[in-house]
Amino acid sequence: MAGTVVVLVIVFITAFYLGIVDFILSQLIKIVLS
């Protein structure tokens, strides 16, 4: 059970981190193209 919780937490943090990175990259692209 504990192992499953750890995996879910890691997946959540990874998805959150990647979401932040994708957001930053999209903002940089907008700045460069504008």
pLDDT digits over 1-34, tens only?
789 999 999 999 999 999 999 999 999 999 999 8
Return the pLDDT at 1.
76
Return the pLDDT at 22.
93
Query: Which segments within 1-34 are labelled E, that is strand?
Result: none
Q: Return the H-helix or E-strand segment holding 28.
A: helix 2-33
11: tokens are 């997946």
